[in-house]
Amino acid sequence: MPRTSRTNNRTVVAARSGPSLNTVLTALVALVAVVVIGGALLVGRSGDEGTASTEALFPAGAHTLSTAEDGRVTLVEFLDFQCPACASYYTGVTERLEQDYRGRITFVTRNFPLEAHPLAVPAARAAEAAAKQGAYAEMYHALYEGFDQWAVDGRSTSSDVGRATATFEEFAVAAGLDLERFRADAASEEVRATIERDVADGTAAGVTSTPTFFLNGEEFRPSGGTIADADRELRAAIDEALAG
């Protein structure tokens, strides 16, 4: 017995010198973690510039903010009404784009509410319910212009459904909608299905974040860092498509 125990002691000592089990296991865990996390992020990014068929991006019944007679240039935006980046794109890019290219391009907006934004789905429902009374564009503009009134508390994402719903109803009244019908539509199965269809189409087209734009079926990704860069690049791409 004493012998065995001495051998054991020696093994323990031996294990402690050189790269120990602990060092090896730690390195292994760190390596696996880096590979998994890094790999996931890389794969996520290389979901890359997707292309998608026009029918999937612009199905019948999808909402347009501008329609081109010739139908040559179609810009599709997947958006989340509570996403701060989308709100920045609204003020910095799409609000003026819609006016400047009215009648020359077809500008389609699709819902892509992200899970991180608890009020994105209620907002999408409000927009779809307004659409049922022919006031999609009014609600779309009101949601972004009134972003600070419902989407955020200070600088953080709001989850105050009560305040948001009340704000949406104010927007609906301001747009002259029938409030009872607006409420019923916002809660309806049909509106839920419409939003789900948008999300499914977006996912199939490789959308993972918002806003994501498709210009004539091809994903548009600004290379510049700022909203102003994105505005310039998007306009250049649209001008090129219009000229081509």
Task: Kindly state whether residue 88 participates in binding other proteins, applying the rule CB under 8 A.
Answer: no
| Residues in 173-212 at the binding interface with other proteins, rule: CB under 8 A | 208-210
Cβ neighbours of residue 164 under 8 Å, at least 6 residues apart?
119, 122, 123, 150, 151, 158
Instruction: Indicate which single residue of 14, 41, 174, 204 sits in contact with other proteins (rule: CB under 8 A).
Output: 41
Nearer to other proteins, 36 or 187 (CB): 36
Residue 241 binds other proteins, judged by CB under 8 A = no
- In whole angstroms, what is the distance from residue 213 CA to residue 79 CA? 9
Q: According to CB under 8 A, which one of 153, 190, 229, 239 is a site residue for other proteins?
A: 153
Place of tokens 């001008």: 239
111 sits near other proteins (criterion: CB under 8 A):
no
Q: Count other C-beta atoms under 10 Å from residue 205's C-beta.
A: 21
CA distance 169 to 129: 11
> Is 149 an interacting residue with respect to other proteins (CB under 8 A)?
no
Binding track, positions 219-238, relative to other proteins; x by CB under 8 A: --------------------
Residues 6+ apart with CB under 8 A from 136: 63, 127, 128, 130
Helices 120-131 and 189-204 sit at what angle, rounded to 10 degrees?
A: 110
116 lies in the site for other proteins, by CB under 8 A? yes
| Binding status of residue 48 toward other proteins by CB under 8 A | no
7 φ, ψ to 5°? -60, -45
Position among 14, 15, 173, 193 found at the interface with other proteins (CB under 8 A): 15
**Residue of 22, 53, 91, 203 interacting with other proteins (CB under 8 A):** 22
Closest CA to 161 of 117, 113, 119: 119
Q: Contact positions toward other proteins, by CB under 8 A? A: 15, 20-23, 25-26, 28-30, 32-33, 36-37, 40-41, 44-45, 84-85, 114-116, 118, 152-157, 159, 208-210
